[in-house]
Structure 1
Amino acid sequence: MSNDTAAQPAYFIAHITVDDVEGYRNYEKGFFPVLKPSGARFVTYDDNVTVLEGERESGRTIMIEFPSEEALMTWWDSPEYRELAKVRQAAVTTHSVTIVHSLPPR
């Protein structure tokens, strides 16, 4: 990965269905303290997105912008997030977790 590519933002998009509300609240309580050191920006979440085409499972869609894919993966693989992810995995059904890359430099 070149330095130009490493500096490009990367977007984390997850779609989940909450199965255990109290468990998910515990995950939410720990989430932002673990996210903050990554330099990420929580963009939005939506429990009622508008689907223009195709199928969608019920649930929540979450979007977070990271300064780079490297920052995203450092957060994702961090011991702090991996431990917190166990709380999430016990409380929700994860339909997808996606990295969307910025346009490459031209």
Structure 2
Amino acid sequence: MPAYWIAHVTVTDPEAYKGYQSLAPAAFARFGARFLARGGQSEVLEGPEAARHVVIEFPDLAAARACYHSDEYRAARAARAGAAEVAVVIVDGL
């Protein structure tokens, strides 16, 4: 059963964020991630505003968790530190 990352992102330092953008794809590729939504037009109906909303599908919950905790994604998160406000939730699919 698939699982999803749902992320809400506001980039505060676009130049520093490029480090994250160069590192994160390796983690996503390793764990079979598929982007369903990334940026684009959005409308917040309830809750805090974020500039970007991202939905990433993984083969299963174990892959979604493993990706987040992988060495590749840890490096990407470290590169992103101070460059964005981020909230990430992992959700089990139906």
Matches within 5 A, 1:1-106: 8-51=1-44, 53-94=45-86, 96-103=87-94
Query: Are the equivalent residues in 2 in contact too, given 1:42–1:64 (CA < 8 A)?
Result: yes
CA RMSD in angstroms comes to 1.5
**Percentage identity across aligned positions?**
36
Query: Are the equivalent residues in 1 in contact too, given 2:27–2:70 (CA < 8 A)?
Result: no
1:47 Cα deviation after fit:
4.5
Which SS does the other structure have where 1:90 is aligned? coil
Which SS does the other structure have where 1:28 is aligned? helix
User: d(CA) in 2 for partners of 1:79 and 1:39?
Assistant: 16
1:57 Cα deviation after fit:
1.3
User: d(CA) in 2 for partners of 1:12 and 1:28?
Assistant: 16
Give the total of aligned pairs.
Answer: 94
- 1:56 to 1:37, Cα distance in 2 relative to 1, 3 A: same
Task: Tell me the TM-score normalised to structure 2 length.
Answer: 0.88
Query: Are the equivalent residues in 1 in contact too, given 2:2–2:59 (CA < 8 A)?
Result: yes
Unaligned stretches of 5+ residues in structure 1: 1-7
- 1:30 to 1:17, Cα distance in 2 relative to 1, 3 A: same
Unaligned stretches of 5+ residues in structure 2: none
Task: Tell me the TM-score normalised to structure 1 length.
Answer: 0.79
- Spell out, residue by residue over 1:22-44, the C-alpha distance to the aligned partner (whole angstroms, 9 max, x if none): 11122111121221010111222
